[in-house]
Structure 1
Amino acid sequence: MNWTQAHPVATLSLRDGQGGSGQTPTTQQASLPMSERNSLSGRDQKFLFWASFLALAAAGFGFVFRVMLPDIWGKEFNITAQEVGGLAGAALWPIAITMILFSLLVDRIGYKRSMFCAFALQAVSVILTVATRDVALLWWACFFAGLGHGVVEAVINPLCASIYRDQKSKMLNILHASWPGGIVGGGCIYLLTYQSMSWRIIFLFMLLPVIAYGVMFFMCRRFPVDERVEANVPMGDMLREFGGLGAFLAITFLFYEIANQIHMASGALSAIHANLLYVSLAIGALGGAAFGYVVKAKGQILFFILCLIMVPLATAELATDGWIQTLMRPVLQADFDVHAGWAIVTSAFIMMTLRFFAGVPLKHMSPPALLLVSSLFSIAGLYLLSGATGSLIIMAFALYAVGQTFYWPTMLGFVSERFPRGGAMTLNTVSAMGLLTVGIFGFPFLGAVKDNFDAQTVKQEKPALYDSYRIADRSFFGWRYDSIKANEVLADPSLSAGEKNDLSGKIDTSARKTLKVAAVLPLTMAIAFGLILLWFRSQGGYQVVHLERDETAGGASEGG
């Protein structure tokens, strides 16, 4: 047998001796005949799936609008590339807060109420974005968008895994085709209207999928019961899968970002800000140890490793998308005379299409093997994009798009198949770690790398201007670098028109080296997934773990 293929499932019976579950069957469930509460109708399944699809597509709309606007925001609000990256990050790291919170709540308050919270948060974020004339208010708009996105993910991932228990990786890939689908839809709207319409008006189009999924979830009456709940696995067991190691990562990253945001907003916590990473690690270690002691478990080692891998994975998928149109704009306009945003739309279209057919590669290889292959494609694509010209750019974008296609949903399928006892907690936390760290690390990291390349180019070409405009001693996770506002340099009256064009071209060329640095991220992933595959091979091959249904728990709930 091919060692990359999934072996027959391992079934865990949890009907006896496991105590109560995190959610007991409701009175409405108990009154239903067993045949009715063990499953949803095909119509119910499809309706819930497509409502979930639209909810994530709405988040894709907001993401691509923010991706298209860094240069406009930089000029309108007079902020640096790293600060623009911080705005994009503010729409991502808060996702972790509501994902983790609602992982604990969704089984109790229900899918429908949870999605109404997402609807309200996303609608408010659109209104604030359109209304703002201040960068601080724009930050809050991005923050609310992140919170709403987190609720969406916290609901739709376990919802999909509960509906399609025998096809988790495949159906999660199809569900997450909605993310690039939203990017394609929103991207086309922006690119076809930006020359004749204000960016604020364009942003209002995000309300279309938001309203659509809000109406669809309002119409839903029956929802599946989570696999963990149906198997009568106690919430304590779910938390033990997460364990002290998972709590260590979550507390570390959350404390770092919240403390950093407080410092940026008010100047408070300056005493610890210089060593914030080390302080966060210490607090995370204490919190993780305390959590592990309470639940009496360190957590699953493989789950901990997958959470760590989400740091480069999220940066390689989301942060590079966030910066790539800015970095590739000059060469695409010069070689093809097209807006660089079409590159993002094209790669998203490839991703969307391939995710609908994720079942094909998953028939021949396991999720970690598919993730390894994807990493290799990403390495090649990003490296080529850093220096490609002419027709080679098309091939590089295709490699880049194929590489990132299966990352996120296949990782979710991997976790869902291996840790069903963890329920919504493990499934959502691994995603939350990626979205949290791409806001903390990914966007600002690539922004800092670009700032540094910009500064070094100006230093080499125009030392006098470098001394006048540089922002010295910037720091990012202990890395010290110089930054510069390239727009201000290029607007300097001492430069002639020819000098401005020459310097602008050299800045654009050097900035593309950022993508070569980004290629290191999928390289680390390829090594990690290769080692994981070797470990599974030593254990007899990859296996899907299923929980055996407890017939006393029911299979569908009324009203969500």
Structure 2
Amino acid sequence: MEQTIDRSRLFWASCLALLVTSLSFGIRAGILSELGTTFQLNGAELGIITATAFWGFPLAVIIGGMVVDIIGMKRLLLIAFVFHLLGIVLTVFATGYWSLFISTLLIGIANGTVEAACNPLVATIYSENKTTKLNHFHLWFPGGIVIGTLIAFFFTKIGWGWQIQVATMIIPTLLYGYFFSKLKFPVTERVASGVSTGEMYKSLFSPLFIFMIICMFGTAITELFTGQWIDVLLKSVTDNAILILTLTTGVMVVGRGLAEPVVHRFSPQGVLLISSVLSVLGLYLLGHTSGNMIFVGALIFGMGVCYFWPTMIGFVAENLPKTGAVGLNLMGGAGMFAVSLYLIFMGGYYNNLVESKLPAGVSEAEKATLLIEAKKAAGPEIINITLVIPIILVVAFTGLVIYMKNRKKA
């Protein structure tokens, strides 16, 4: 008897695979300083090791998008499983800089490969409800970051080392590898609908797709840069900067879980416009307030960014289906690539900003006090510069709402 496609099991196995991806981000963030101490690594070396995950991700997601129709989603996900397992085991038995570099790169490639296969898989098995199910799938990213940071926090408290923390990822990795090996997969929606490979690549040059790629730069930077840097930028402003990240990530989990009524009420383009307006308001409050108002800003900002990533991919899946798996994965790759460049640029700009606020000819004792004040002033300035990006997105998505309304009338 021929095996049937069980879309519910495929979906939950996809969520498990994404959970491993996000756990790797959360646990690495929690153990980074300990790795630096254990292996005597400086800030620059730790920065390079962390960046390999960001470089490995877009590399894998774009290449994976190009080969997924050729080798199939099942084989691609089993490749991700092998890379995840190798990366996790290599990290546990790391002996220094190069073993950490290689293991983090492998995990980054595995993370990108998971997205390369799972985004088109979810869009294919839920072709009647793409944006909602992509939001449900992507809630496991912020959810996993929360779980990962809690694992790092509590395991450290009870004295369990970073090796055990990393090793916890082996359990969901083995589970998703087992489930995917047993399940039957459909062909991608693009292949099923008979769209040729040539037609798919031609569709990537449509003005609407190019517009969405450019907007993806902005939505990804607004969400991921701020999330990665919130502790640095606001540490001097509030004693609970890390709680701001917990709050925004928690809001994202709830928001993505409730995506269905929101997406059906406002349409994907309407959700993107509302998201950009809330992101502007949230970032403005984070950059211009102090005390408890910062937490209000974090709450609004979390509501703003929570729908960005999955709804951008969902919009392309619904309105530009001929772009296929390559289109979906170019969106994800473009977003992560933009974040990695913005992180490097803003890291240098932040250092220069702090230095420019330190007066010349002061003693070391005075310099330590002035440095705290300089960082306190520089953090909100970086937030205010980043605020320009969602303001541009408000204009862009207003245009998109008008364009899509006119397109439906035509």
Partner of 2:75: 113
Secondary structure of 1:332's aligned partner:
coil
Partner of 2:43: 79
Conservation of the 8 A alpha-carbon contact between 1:188 and 1:345:
no
Amino acid across the alignment from 2:88: V
Amino acid across the alignment from 1:453: L
Amino acid across the alignment from 2:180: F
Partner of 2:207: 301
Aligned partners of 2:43 and 2:193: how far apart in 1?
A: 52
User: Structure 1 residue 194: deviation in Å?
Assistant: 3.1
Q: Does residue 265 of structure 2 align to residue 359 of structure 1?
A: no
Q: Of 177, 187, 199, which aligns to 1:214?
A: 177
Partner of 2:220: 314
Aligned partners of 2:216 and 2:165: how far apart in 1?
A: 32
Amino acid across the alignment from 2:77: M
Partner of 1:27: none
Task: Classify 1:442/1:198 alpha carbon distance in 2 versus 1 (closer, same or farther; 3 Å).
Answer: farther
Aligned partners of 2:35 and 2:47: how far apart in 1?
A: 11
- Larger helix share, 1 or 2: 2
Q: Does residue 194 of structure 2 align to residue 232 of structure 1?
A: yes
Task: Classify 1:95/1:320 alpha carbon distance in 2 versus 1 (closer, same or farther; 3 Å).
Answer: same
Conservation of the 8 A alpha-carbon contact between 2:83 and 2:110:
yes
Conservation of the 8 A alpha-carbon contact between 2:234 and 2:379:
no
Task: Classify 1:353/1:226 alpha carbon distance in 2 versus 1 (closer, same or farther; 3 Å).
Answer: same
User: Structure 1 residue 502: deviation in Å?
Assistant: 5.1
Q: Does residue 387 of structure 2 align to residue 519 of structure 1?
A: yes
Partner of 1:500: 368
Partner of 1:191: 153
Task: Classify 1:407/1:535 alpha carbon distance in 2 versus 1 (closer, same or farther; 3 Å).
Answer: same
Aligned partners of 1:63 and 1:90: how far apart in 2?
A: 12
Amino acid across the alignment from 1:394: F
Equivalent residue runs for 1:434-445 within 5 Å: 434-439=335-340, 441-445=341-345
Equivalent residue runs for 1:66-105 within 5 Å: 66-68=28-30, 76-80=40-44, 85-105=47-67
Residues 304-353 of structure 1, C-alpha deviations (whole Å, 9 max, x = no match): 111111112211111221111232334432xxxx4x43332222121011
Aligned partners of 1:416 and 1:423: how far apart in 2?
A: 8
User: Structure 1 residue 426: deviation in Å?
Assistant: 1.0
Q: Of 136, 151, 158, which aligns to 1:174?
A: 136
Conservation of the 8 A alpha-carbon contact between 2:233 and 2:378:
no
Amino acid across the alignment from 1:209: P
Equivalent residue runs for 1:398-477 within 5 Å: 398-439=299-340, 441-457=341-357, 459-460=358-359, 463-464=360-361
Partner of 1:21: none
Partner of 1:389: 290
Aligned partners of 2:277 and 2:307: how far apart in 1?
A: 12
Identity, in percent, stands at: 30
Q: Which has the higher contact order (CA 8 A, sep 6+)?
A: 1
User: Structure 1 residue 72: deviation in Å?
Assistant: 5.7
Equivalent residue runs for 1:266-285 within 5 Å: none
Partner of 1:264: none
Higher gyration radius (CA): 1
Residues 284-312 of structure 1, C-alpha deviations (whole Å, 9 max, x = no match): xxxxxxxxxxxxxxx21110111111112
Amino acid across the alignment from 1:307: I
User: Which segments of 5 or more consecutive residues in structure 1 lack a partner in the other structure?
Assistant: 1-30, 243-298, 466-493, 543-560
Aligned partners of 1:427 and 1:224: how far apart in 2?
A: 17
User: Structure 1 residue 84: deviation in Å?
Assistant: 5.2
Aligned partners of 2:146 and 2:266: how far apart in 1?
A: 28
Amino acid across the alignment from 1:419: L
Aligned partners of 2:214 and 2:35: how far apart in 1?
A: 32
Conservation of the 8 A alpha-carbon contact between 1:90 and 1:143:
yes
- Larger strand share, 1 or 2: 1
Task: Classify 1:454/1:202 alpha carbon distance in 2 versus 1 (closer, same or farther; 3 Å).
Answer: farther
Tell me the TM-score normalised to structure 2 length. Answer: 0.91
Residues 141-190 of structure 1, C-alpha deviations (whole Å, 9 max, x = no match): 33222211111011111111111111001111101111111111112112
The Cα RMSD (Å) is: 2.5
Partner of 1:483: none
Partner of 1:341: 242
Aligned partners of 1:348 and 1:229: how far apart in 2?
A: 36
Aligned partners of 1:72 and 1:453: how far apart in 2?
A: 28
Secondary structure of 2:235's aligned partner:
helix
Tell me the TM-score normalised to structure 1 length. Answer: 0.67
Partner of 1:16: none
User: Structure 1 residue 73: deviation in Å?
Assistant: 6.3
User: Which segments of 5 or more consecutive residues in structure 2 lack a partner in the other structure?
Assistant: none
Residues 236-273 of structure 1, C-alpha deviations (whole Å, 9 max, x = no match): 2112112xxxxxxxxxxxxxxxxxxxxxxxxxxxxxxx
